[in-house]
Structures are given as structure tokens and as C-alpha cells.
A and B are shown apart, each in its own frame.
Chain A
């Protein structure tokens, strides 16, 4: 027991993990009709904790609230913080209204990252559905920056329509590389689209990778990840080589608020990236 008379420092003195830093919006860039990227710079004198691919921050809009958003930038670039998000609720709508000079509260980074170091020596397959490309992008940056450490690099990306395809200039650049395979598909084509049409799982059958030495990183809607995993398992990849990134309601990101629980896990600190064999059982239960 702590002695009753011992004076302890008040909370005001201790670091509160719920307290954000006010970042400055340098630029807001439109990615598609409902998706945008914020480029943020930290306040003067504040040294941000470097992030790892797959981690997320809590973004706070004064007067509106907070939400968890993955980091979409290059982990090697510590000058500017990138968040790509879709407008889906009150906070993301307010974030979408940010202009250069606006302030956004940031706390983080949080969560378990994509295990890029463990994937070294393997072929790496990225499977992204919609906005799921954003949390995968830092991992893609990483493997390309350490290209010699990896075997084949494959990106399979599914968007709703050609207009919804994110990071188009970057995808063109990656497509033109001779040491990376990029396949894009859309659910619904439009006039002028000459690419693939259909769900992203269709791309897995012909994707070039060595089933015995492959690490797969998957991010998208849960139903898309479910079928993607089945296809990849069908190609003979071990389930211990498959990783998924899950999304749940989060209020704190520090394991206190309880909202993000999924079976024995707190998605905020045990995830959001999980090795598939560890969450398989829980992903299969409805309304868990």
C-alpha cells in the first residue's frame, strides 16, 4: 500500500495519454469524391514518436470529437504526417473541411504494425479493398525502400469505380516498376475503363507469388478480408503468413475505454494488425 501521507504528483504533472498535440494542416489533398489526404506538421518543439507501417493516430477536431485513422505516409519521412480518410461521420466530415493552417489534435501512434521485418526473404502480397489501401501504403513504401530484402512484391487493389481509385499517380509509378506487380480491379466500370472488373479476390488466382514463402497483408472491409483470406489459403499459403487489419469503435486507443474489444483482444493495442490464425476464430462469430 502506498503510504497515505505520501504526496504524489497530480495528474496535471503526469503525461495523460488522452491529451493530443495540436498539429498544423499544411495541405488537404482530394483523392476521390469522398476521400482526402491531410498533410500535417507537428507543433514547434514537439518531437513526434516515429510510426511503424499499419499504426494509427487518434485525430481530434476541436468542437467535434475524435476518431481513429491509420497513417498513410512514408515511415521514413518524419517531416510530415499523412492521413488518408473517407468522409463517413461527423469527425471525418469536419476533417474534410480543414484548410491549410487549420489545427488538428493528434495523439499516437498506436497499435500493432504490419510485421515488415518478419516478412523479409518472402514474397509480399498486399491486398487492399477501397480505403484499405491507405493503411497498407506505409508498408509498401517500406518494402520498396528495402527492396533487396524481399522476394516478389504484389499489390492487388480493388476499388468501387475507376473514380474511387486512390493514389493514382503513385499506382502508375508502382505499375511501371519492373520489380513490382500491380493489379487493379473495380466493382463497376465506367466508359473508358479498360482494366479489370470484379471483386479483388478474383485477382488472387493469377497473382504471381511462391505459396511456400509468402506473407500477405490484407486490409479492407471485413467481408472482403474474409474472402481474400480464403482465396489465399486456397493458393496454399500458410495461415501464419497472413495478416489482416481490423476496425472497431475506439474512444481511447490505449486499452481503457473497452469499445474495440473483439473476444480476448483490444483491437487498439493487440491490433489493429493481427496474424490471421490468431483472430480467425473471433472473426467467424457474428456480432462479436
Chain B
């Protein structure tokens, strides 16, 4: 075991990446990684380095997402796609149990199947932070969700640090990136370094399982120079964040501004389409639906992702609590940035910026927060307040 400890940090040449994928495949029931599907980078099953979006760059802006094939040899030169770990640990649609009926009698059967172990390659630091937030929601406060737990417990996470943040990124503001620091515990962390005629990864182990995995890889000794190169690259990445969010006094700002006229302005643009809640890696709201056989002999309870932007979300007899789009946007943003802190002890936002990119009209949580905070804001050259 001492030998394994010795290589808690090491260097994996780019040619060794296939060995990592192969080893993951040997030890886990499925291996997921970034892959281009339907013009987006998604988490998909991977079996070789050829599956990875090598050289692909992603362009993010409010309401805009494009992939470009670049000339660079890097494997992880992009940031996050619309998928997050959320859909892996908390499936968008899951049948919880079903009931068979005969006459008055009925029997209930659990429907959630045992899941295999899942290794995920290319998990970004903001994703780890989001997973830690989800852990608090599903495992840390009162009741436990067994469906989340069984998926969560069987993850092997290979993180990749972000050296080229996107225009929508603000993880540096949220303290969740660009380097792997804090967040949910991980097994391996990779930093992709190109320079001095070499291309490879600084590899670190974050768990015993990660250390065991490292012992099986074609690693080389990592010199001090590599660790320095990593630090320099991360510092540069932190400086090149496309956006910022000032978290100082954020809860009070939102709680004190429920009547701010800006909510109306956002509501004028907001389509209440729920995209932001679907791509958000921490949004956890769900609905439970009844699915019935035509002859009434059986019924199933299916949990599906829901969104506080849907009108029916707050329906009780007599009407809806949040009728206006204004009140629904206010709920989402206030929950994410303020009440989440009261509920779970952390801010619900990890700075991944997905809600900005996938908002069809480019509503920007960092900008809307800045307006409430009374800060000058800039949007496409125009200064508004």
C-alpha cells in the first residue's frame, strides 16, 4: 500500500488516457464521459478516447450554445453541456412503485431496479459542488431518498479541472472552481497540461478507490514543474471567468427585495419555459404522476422532474399561489441564492452558468442579482440599472 500512496500525484501522458478508460471499464458496469450528441456535449457511454470530443470548443452566451471543431489536441477543451450529474443520480423520470388490483385487494411493488456501478470521466469542479448540494437535499435533511442513494453510492468520479472557462462561467465567484477543491469527494482528478512538447494529465487521487485505480495506470513521476504549471493555469482560468456574482450579503439582498421593480422587468422577458430549472445541476423539484392501465387493474407512481416555473406547481383548491411569471422567477432565483442557505446551509448555485446559456431569451442570474444589489451592469454594450 505504501507504493500506492507514493503515487497520490503522478503524470499520465495523453497516450495513457485509453488505459484509464479501459481500467474504468474493467471495474465498473458502465463508463460515461463527454461525447458530442445532437450538437451538444452530453454524458454518454464511452469505450475509447475516440469517443471524446477532442479539439471541440464550446461557445456559451445568454441563449446561445455552439460547438466548434478546433485544431487543438486537447481532450477537455470545453466546459459543461446541458447534462449534469443530476440526471444520473436523480433520473428525470423514474417509476417508484406500482400497484396491482383485484377487487378491493391490492399489492404494491417497488419498481426501481438496482443500478450498477458507474464511472464518470470528465466531471467538472462545479459538478462536484452541485453533487455535494444534491447530497444535502436528498440525504442530509430528514428523509432519505433511497433512489438517489443507490445511484449516488455507486459512482466513481474522475474529475477534470477547467483551464478554459466559458463566457457564462462564474464558479470562481461561487468558490466551486475552476480547480477541484471541496465539493463532493472525488476519486481521481485530472489536469490536462500541454507544453514543452508534451501533452498529458496531472493525476491526483482523492480516495482509496482512486489510489487503487492509479496503481493500474501507466503513470510517470510528476515533477514539481507540473504542479506549478497546474497552479499557474488555474490562476489564469480563475481570472478569465466570463461572469461574476457577488455572494456577499446575497441572502439579505434577495429577502429584502421581494418588491423590487426589476422582477417585473425580468418577467417581461421570461417565458416560464423551465429550461433553467432543467439544466440546473441542483434544481431538485419533482412531480409524481399516476399512470393507470386502461382496465384499471394496475397503476404506477412515476416521479418526474418538475419546475417552479410551471403554473400548476403551486395549485391548491381555489387557485394557484404563484400566478404571475414575476412571482415564479422571483421564487426560483430567491430559492437558489437565498432560501437555499436557510434550508441546506449552502447557496443553491454553483456558478456553472447553464441557466444563462440555455435560457432562450438570455436571462442572466448574475446580471439580475447585480441589479438587485444596486451594481452597475452591462449587457451588450448598454448600461442598464
Scoring B residues 291 to 328 as 1 if CB is less than 8 Å from chain A, else 0, what string do you get?
Answer: 01000100101010010100001111110011110110
A263 within 8 A of B: yes
> B105: which A residues are within 8 A, CB to CB?
103
Q: Are B323 and A287 in contact (CB under 8 A)?
A: yes
Residues on B with beta carbons closer than 8 Å to the beta carbon of A8: 149-150, 153-154
Determine the interface band of chain A, counting residues with CB < 8 A from chain B. Answer: 35 or more
Closest CB in chain A relative to B33 CB, distance in Å = 16
Known contacts being A62-B99, A252-B286, is A1 close to B185, with CB within 8 Å? yes
With beta carbons under 8 angstroms apart, the residue of B28, B106, B146 that contacts A11 is: B146
Judge if B142 is at the interface, Cβ distance under 8 Å.
yes
Separation in Å of the B200 CB from the closest CB of chain A? 24
* B206 at interface, CB cutoff 8 A: yes
**B198 at interface (Cβ–Cβ under 8 A)?**
no
Within 8 Å by CB of B315, from A3, A65, A249, A255, lies A249
Smallest CB-CB separation from B210: which chain A residue? Answer: A1
| One of B51-59, B113-121, B362-370 at the interface | B113-121
Among the 9-residue stretches B173-181, B223-231, B335-343, the one with 4 or more Cβ atoms under 8 Å from chain A is B335-343
Question: How many angstroms from the CA of A4 to the CA of B187 in the assembled complex?
Answer: 9
Question: How far is B99's CA from A103's CA once the two chains are assembled, in angstroms?
Answer: 12
Q: Which of chain B's residues has its CB closest to A100's CB?
A: B104
At the interface, yes or no: A191 with Cβ under 8 Å from chain B? Answer: no
Q: Mark A60-78, 1 if CB is under 8 A from B, else 0.
A: 0011111000000000000
List chain A residues, Cβ under 8 A from B112. 10-12, 16
| B65 within 8 Å of A (CB atoms) | no
Give chain A residues whose Cβ lies under 8 Å from the Cβ of B194: none
Q: Which residues of B contact A101 (CB under 8 A)?
A: 104
A252 to B142, CA, bound (A): 13
The answer to whether B321 and A287 touch across the interface, beta carbons within 8 angstroms, is yes
Residue of A nearest to B283 (CB): A258
Confirm or deny: B209 has a beta carbon within 8 angstroms of a beta carbon on chain A. yes
Name B97-117 residues within 8 Å CB distance of A: 97, 99, 101, 104-106, 108, 110, 112-115, 117
Chain A residues whose C-beta falls within 8 Å of the C-beta of B343 in the assembled complex: 264, 266
Q: Is A146 an interface residue (CB 8 A)?
A: no
Residues of A within 8 A of B186 (CB): 1
Which residue from chain A places its CB closest to the CB of B145 in the assembled complex?
A256
Which of B292, B306, B327 is close to A288, meaning CB atoms less than 8 Å apart? B327
Contact, CB under 8 Å: A247 / B287: no
- By a CB distance below 8 angstroms, the chain B residues around A254 are 142-143, 145
CA of A64 to CA of B99, assembled, Å: 12
Across the interface, do A4 and B258 meet the contact criterion of CB distance under 8 Å? no
Given contacts A4-B28, A16-B97, contact A62 B106 (CB under 8 A): yes
Q: Which residues of A contact B88 (CB under 8 A)?
A: none
Whether A12 and B114, one on each chain, are in contact in the complex, defined by CB atoms closer than 8 angstroms, is yes
Q: Does A178 contact B (CB under 8 A)?
A: no
Instruction: Give complex CA distance A17, B147 in Å.
Output: 10
CB closest residue in chain B, given A261: B335
> A2: which B residues are within 8 A, CB to CB?
152-155
Contact of A257 with B28 at beta-carbon distance under 8 Å, contacts A10-B150, A22-B106, A22-B108 already known? no
Tell me if B316 and A4 are in contact (CB < 8 A): no
Given A1-B207, A12-B112, does the pair A248, B321 have CB atoms closer than 8 Å? Answer: yes
Q: How far is the CB of A97 from chain B (nearest CB, A)?
A: 13
For residue A257, which residue of chain B has the nearest CB? B286
In the complex, A22 Cα to B207 Cα: how many Å?
44
Q: Which residues of B17-47 are within 8 A (CB) of A?
A: 27-28
- Whether A89 is near chain B, meaning CB under 8 Å from some CB there, is yes
Task: For chain B, residues 194 to 229, give those with C-beta under 8 angstroms from any C-beta of chain A.
Answer: 206-210
Known interface pairs A1-B186, A10-B114. Does A19 touch B108 (Cβ–Cβ under 8 Å)? yes
* B-chain residues with CB within 8 Å of residue A266 when the two chains form the complex: 343
Which of A9, A255, A258 has its CB near the most chain B CB atoms (within 10 A)? A258
CB of A263 within 8 A of CB of B339, answer yes
Can you identify 7 A-B contacts, CB atoms within 8 angstroms?
Answer: A2-B154, A12-B114, A18-B301, A248-B321, A252-B286, A261-B339, A286-B327
B residues neighboring A (CB under 8 Å): 27-28, 96-97, 99, 101, 104-106, 108, 110, 112-115, 117, 119, 137-138, 141-147, 149-150, 152-157, 185-187, 206-210, 255, 258, 284-288, 290, 292, 296, 299, 301, 303, 306, 308, 313-318, 321-324, 326-327, 331, 335, 338-339, 342-343
Q: Which 3 A-B pairs have the closest CB atoms?
A: A10-B114, A258-B285, A264-B342
